[in-house]
Amino acid sequence: MYETPDQRLVVAEGLAAMATTWPEGGEPAETVREHLIEKWQQLGTPANAFADAAEAVSRQPQPIDEPAEEAESLQAFQELLGLPNTEEQLLAALAARDLLQSLARDYS
């Protein structure tokens, strides 16, 4: 399926982004799993795609660690805009990595 290393990287980063952002948007874990499998199948079931995506999660930008005095103000804006807070972002990344590692085991 992969014709170039760049394509492999794009697939990994895309699956990683989906695995991270869908739960942040409120998608249940089982639905996210089904969506990821569907996308993988649409891509032609490339080998190692889920393992590569699990590794790509660690390369995603990390949430900004704000000083305590700024955290409350930032949190108010995040809530107003419906954005996940730092803890939720980190938990989403960990859950995404775990899910992708599980898919890698199941589909390798």
d(CA 72, CA 42): 43
Give the count of domains, the chain. 1
What stretches in the chain show pLDDT beneath 50?
Answer: none
Q: Is 12 exposed, middle or buried (0-12, 13-18, 19+ CB in 10 A)?
A: buried
At 70 the pLDDT is 77
Query: Would you state the pLDDT for residue 62?
Result: 82
What is the predicted pLDDT for the residue at 5?
A: 87
Which ranges constitute the DSSP H helices of the chain? 5-24, 29-42, 49-57, 68-81, 86-106
Structural contact between residues 73 and 85, judged by C-beta atoms closer than 8 angstroms: no
- Tell me the residue range of the domain where 59 lies: 5-106
